[in-house]
């Protein structure tokens, strides 16, 4: 079943909305239009779990009142925003896509929520996600799967699939997600929108329910690179409430050079030109490389030999951190509490609570993480994974000596069908091109690269751009350059030509 078109030109960008509202008001009308789109379309794709209509209208009224008084509400004035279900907000409930936290009302706002609202944005709803951000398809959600707006029989990607789908469907021009191993960039690619994962430490994680604390990062979904730059400028910067947030100045990410392509050195790893990439993914990548080169960029071959080691490394480190972070949900301190017979041992309460509250994928990862951290296996698995992590970071450091950015496909394939990947390993391999970005702590972004054909379906695919840590200005420069060169209507290069 095919969904409605996402980027049909009828939906203004966040930048345009904010400019109009700051000049003449109208935030109430903007919010009403987006609420109407949600009301008409959300039931079909399940992107949003909660909609805050009354609160959003009150907030819009306040923004319009500021404009009427001659005040500036901020760079995101009147822009409707949706937030992922693992980002704390006093609006509604923060459930992390899990029965464990169903009904949990946060007593505080995440730093990113505070900063968005201070910039004039209007939180309009909360998006569905894979439970505790563990998944690549948003099928592992206690509140039902999310469907891809381009084809309702297919996944939107994950774990931030609801945020990607909400932007692609036109419900909001901006949504926030989190990225632990590709959870912003992969769904952005499969839904045909822009998804930016900032460098580790660029954006505060205060108020983000932790999955992998050394990997998690909050970032935006938007329809344009300029909007991603606008949002990043709002949410980035040090935060005394997050000790991992870096004290690094935030560059002017909105500044664009006169010639964004000429002089760029773009690295293309041989490991990204895999024979098992979908033919249209391979063809579109070759077309992108040729177009960049034709407009003055230098294409540099680079070696990233540890690409395949990234999946194994990630699925040791991330579950290990998850097993520690989720240990607090035990039926005593936080979350759901099971009912057990009076006088039952405490271990029975723990087991019943966690069996009822956590879904199968979360249970699988907790058990894996507990195993690799256990006595006798710590050195063989976890410590070894940390050594490989260091080598992956060093490999990127060497590559960035010869290039400004690395480009490749965001995903090996377009969106797959709901229920198609029942084998966990095949699901994990969806993130083969994205996990190393998190492991190395660098920044990455997916921008629309074209479409792939799957029978009668026309499915988005993404161009993945990676830059050194805290080089988001270069990342956005490359993204804007591709946006200027890219013809969204152009077909992919034929698979045979891509193999040259």
Whole-prediction pTM: 0.95
- Domain presence at residue 317: yes
| Positions of the chain with pLDDT under 70 | 1-9, 256, 258, 488-500
Phi-psi label, residue 288: left if phi above 0, alpha if psi -120 to 50, beta otherwise:
alpha
User: Which structural domain range is residue 312 located in?
Assistant: 308-380
Residues 224-266: pLDDT tens digits? Answer: 999 999 999 999 999 999 999 999 999 888 776 767 899 999 9
- Catalytic, 136? Answer no
Structure-block tokens of residue 377: 């296996």
- Domain presence at residue 248: no
Predicted local confidence at residue 106, as pLDDT: 97
Predicted local confidence at residue 259, as pLDDT: 77
- Catalytic, 98? Answer no
Catalytic residue (choose from 89, 106, 159, 199):
159
- Domain presence at residue 363: yes
Predicted local confidence at residue 494, as pLDDT: 37
Structure-block tokens of residue 406: 């690395």
Catalytic residue (choose from 6, 15, 84, 89):
84
Q: Is 89 exposed, middle or buried (0-12, 13-18, 19+ CB in 10 A)?
A: buried
Distant-in-sequence, close-in-space partners of 366: CB < 8 Å, separation ≥ 6: 319, 322, 323, 326, 354, 358
- Domain presence at residue 318: yes
Number of structural domains (the chain) is 1
- Name the phi and psi angles at 259, rounded to 5: -120, 95
Strands 405-409 and 457-467: antiparallel
Predicted local confidence at residue 254, as pLDDT: 77
Predicted local confidence at residue 123, as pLDDT: 98
Q: How far is CA 75 from the centre of its chain?
A: 22
First CA to last CA distance, the chain: 35
Predicted local confidence at residue 8, as pLDDT: 43
- Domain presence at residue 252: no
- Domain presence at residue 423: no
Catalytic residue (choose from 6, 89, 106, 183):
183
- Domain presence at residue 480: no
- Catalytic, 106? Answer no
- Domain presence at residue 473: no
């Amino acid at each position: 079943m095919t969904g409605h078109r996402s980027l049909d030109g009828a939906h203004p960008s966040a930048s345009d909305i904010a400019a109009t509202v700051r000049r003449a008001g109208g935030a109430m009308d903007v919010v009403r239009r987006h609420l109407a789109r949600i009301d008409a379309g959300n039931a079909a794709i399940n992107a949003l779990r909660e909609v805050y209509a009354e609160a959003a209208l009150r907030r819009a009224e306040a923004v319009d009142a500021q404009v009427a008084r001659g005040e500036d509400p901020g760079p995101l004035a009147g822009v409707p925003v949706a937030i992922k279900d693992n980002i704390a907000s006093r609006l509604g409930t923060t459930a992390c896509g899990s029965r464990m936290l169903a009904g949990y009302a946060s007593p505080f706002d995440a730093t990113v929520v505070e900063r968005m609202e201070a910039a004039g944005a209007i939180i309009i709803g909360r998006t569905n996600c894979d439970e505790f951000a563990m998944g690549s398809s948003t099928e592992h959600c206690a509140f039902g799967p999310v469907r891809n707006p381009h084809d309702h029989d297919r996944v939107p990607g994950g774990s931030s699939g609801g945020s990607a789908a909400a932007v692609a469907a036109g419900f909001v021009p901006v949504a926030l997600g989190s990225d632990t191993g590709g959870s912003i960039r992969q769904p952005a690619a499969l839904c045909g929108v822009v998804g930016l994962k900032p460098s580790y430490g660029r954006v505060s994680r205060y108020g983000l329910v932790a999955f992998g604390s050394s990997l998690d990062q909050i970032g935006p979904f938007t329809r344009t690179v300029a909007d991603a730059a606008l949002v990043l400028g709002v949410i980035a910067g040090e935060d005394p409430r997050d000790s991992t947030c870096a004290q690094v100045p935030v560059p002017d990410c909105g500044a664009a050079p006169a010639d964004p392509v000429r002089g760029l050195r773009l690295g293309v790893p041989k490991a990204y030109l895999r024979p098992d990439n979908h033919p249209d993914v391979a063809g579109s990548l070759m077309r992108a490389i040729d177009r960049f080169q034709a407009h003055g960029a230098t294409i540099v071959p680079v070696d990233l030999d540890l690409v395949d080691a990234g999946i194994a490394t990630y699925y040791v480190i991330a579950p290990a951190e998850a097993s520690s972070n989720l240990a607090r949900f035990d039926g005593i301190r936080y979350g759901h509490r099971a009912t057990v017979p009076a006088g039952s041992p405490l271990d029975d309460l723990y087991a019943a609570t966690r069996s009822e509250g956590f879904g199968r994928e979360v249970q699988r990862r907790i058990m894996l993480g507990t195993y690799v951290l256990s006595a006798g296996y710590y050195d063989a698995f976890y410590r070894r994974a940390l050594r490989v992590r260091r080598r992956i970071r060093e490999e990127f450091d060497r590559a960035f000596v010869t290039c400004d950015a690395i480009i490749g496909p965001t995903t090996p394939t377009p969106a797959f069908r709901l229920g198609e990947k029942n084998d966990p390993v095949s699901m994990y391999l969806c993130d083969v091109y994205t996990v190393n970005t998190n492991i190395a702590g660098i920044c990455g972004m997916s921008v629309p690269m074209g479409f792939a054909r799957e029978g009668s379906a026309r499915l988005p695919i993404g161009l993945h751009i990676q830059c050194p840590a805290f080089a988001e200005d270069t990342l956005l420069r490359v993204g804007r350059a591709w946006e200027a060169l890219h013809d969204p209507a152009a077909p992919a290069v034929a698979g045979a030509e891509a193999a040259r």
